[in-house]
Structure 1
Amino acid sequence: MGFADTRFNVNLSILFTELPLLERPPAARAAGFTAVELWWPWVDAPTPERSELAALRDALRDAGTQLTGLNFYAGRLPGPDRGALSVPGEESARFRANVPVAIEFAASLGCTAFNALYGNRVEGATAAEQDALALTNLAFAARAVAEVEGTLLIEALNAPESPACPIVSAPKAIEVVDAVNAATGLDNARFLMDLYHLSMNGEDLDDVIDRHTAKTAHVQIADNPGRGAPGTGSLDFPALLDRLRKNGYDGYVGLEYKPGDGPSTGSFAWLPAPLRAAG
């Protein structure tokens, strides 16, 4: 029960950020983690030099860490999470240019889960125009992901921290998932259930889990308030993770929280070392 039956991975774009990018995989492995995920690491470069991609690939392999999830290019994160796929013009083009690069990189490491952030509302285009562009770009990404038998993840953010993002509830994210699957006929779009964002939106997490686990392909956690480690806020993660399992979820749970003032290694006291290896 609780944490013991859960496979965790650690997000190297919010944890271990006190270290240079290439030093984070070995640091995660030294802390006991064998599975990691990443936001797109090059915030200003959707198509970085191949040497940079190769260096990160080598760092992950040499550390003995498995990449299990990767965000497509979305600009500078965290917040304001602007995304790229619903923004007309250059940002949309940068997202589409990133898709084959990200897929080739991740697939070379055995990773086939890709998160596409919807993006904020912007001036100069109507909501309907942006939603149409987002669906076009998501369908483009879903078809590309299908070539590696992968999954396209759609995530709801939270309104207090991302007020310009239109995807700020589980039902809205599920609506987008269904629209992408209908547009492509591939059925490879799924919900990324981030319990921190959903709790910030005031959603009933038990109800979200009961209603939407069947369409969920990845889960991320951070406590609320504060986006810290489990135990720093009010969320009952042992009960939530038990509920997820009872509803049939057996995938990874990504640690996507802020480590606090000290080194990231000090933020894992809540999780016994033997439970950090994904197995």
Structure 2
Amino acid sequence: MTASRYAVNCSLLFTELPLLDRPAAARTAGFDAVEFWWPFAAAVPGDSEVAAFERAITDAGVALVGLNFFAGDMPAGDRGLVSWPARRTEFRDNIDVTVAIGERLGCRAFNALYGNRIDGASAAEQDAVAVENLALAAAAAARIDGVVLVEPVSGAPRYPLLTAADALAVIDRVRAASGATDIGLLADLYHLAVNGDDVDAVIARHCGDIAHVQIADAPGRNEPGTGTLALARQLDALGAGGYHGWVGLEYKPSGASADSFAWLPREHRGSAHAAATTTGAQR
């Protein structure tokens, strides 16, 4: 796993610290890239909140490489607004805010959580709203050469995208309806494995559709080495298949966050090492 470019997910790691202190903590731990879920309580936060978040990233000297669109009240069980008819305006208002943060900080990967099935709307109605919203998000991302990510998720009983095939079907519908090309699969190897997907087959068949990768071990969703997933082999397969993007460390540390990186030697945590290793391997 040492040739991958790793980014610390600061919405699951370093949660013992205030949110704005986490990018600096990731830098202190040896990483030069981070990703976040939506870091604000509202879809359209105040300018001062956005400025403080952006300053925390730049002052820490890290790159923001992944950012979620507003996904509702995640602690309460929400898992995105993309397919939620009554909140389509809220999601659409959030698109420009999210992409603007990405433009200023150099982030080009934006995760659009699909949303749970809800009472009062049919699956067909929700899916139609999702296609419209994802097409709008992809068009906005395309303006800055970005990509919208669609992710299968585990642990949410009413979330309809469980496998890579589920997410790829949505991506295909968006492409067919709008011509959008700036949309791809977020392959969280933990979610795929827990949901019973054949992760090795997904990598072999769909590596070209994967626009971002995240990892955690299972069971437990803790750091690599605490469970039974073949993460090292699978990341090697991704690299061999042509994926050289970021790998988000989206796990719950089994202890202190800083101690949860023992599986990865410090000299392998920065993206410069991964780039050098990859270049050397290609010579």
Q: Is the 8 A contact 2:135 2:180 kept in 1?
A: no
Task: Give deviations 1:136-188, integer Å, cap 9, x for gaps.
Answer: 11111111111111101110112xx1110111111110111111122221311
CA RMSD of aligned residues (A): 1.1
- Between the aligned partners of 1:29 and 1:235, the Cα distance in structure 2 is 27
**Which piece of structure 1 moves more, 80-89 or 215-224?**
80-89
Runs (4+) off by over 4 Å: none
Kindly tell me the number of residue pairs found equivalent between the two proteins. Answer: 272
Q: Letter of the aligned partner of 2:165 in structure 1?
A: P
Higher relative helix content: 2
Q: Letter of the aligned partner of 1:122 in structure 2?
A: I
Task: Give deviations 1:26-77, integer Å, cap 9, x for gaps.
Answer: 10000001000110011x3011111111111111111100000100000133
Q: Letter of the aligned partner of 2:29 in structure 1?
A: A
- Between the aligned partners of 1:94 and 1:22, the Cα distance in structure 2 is 25
SS at match of 1:231: coil
Counterpart residue number, 2:46: 49
1:143-162 equivalent positions in 2, closer than 5 A: 143-158=139-154, 161-162=155-156
Task: Give 5+ residue unaligned stretches, structure 2.
Answer: 273-283
SS at match of 2:74: coil
Q: CA deviation at 1:81?
A: 4.1
1:271 paired with 2:264, answer yes
Counterpart residue number, 1:202: 196
SS at match of 1:254: strand
Counterpart residue number, 2:65: 68
Q: Letter of the aligned partner of 2:263 in structure 1?
A: W
In structure 2, the CA distance between the partners of 1:78 and 1:274, relative to structure 1 (3 Å rule), is farther
TM-score (norm 1): 0.95
Counterpart residue number, 1:39: 37
1:81-230 equivalent positions in 2, closer than 5 A: 81-89=78-86, 91-158=87-154, 161-230=155-224
Q: CA deviation at 1:276?
A: 0.8
Counterpart residue number, 1:5: 3
Task: Give 5+ residue unaligned stretches, structure 1.
Answer: none
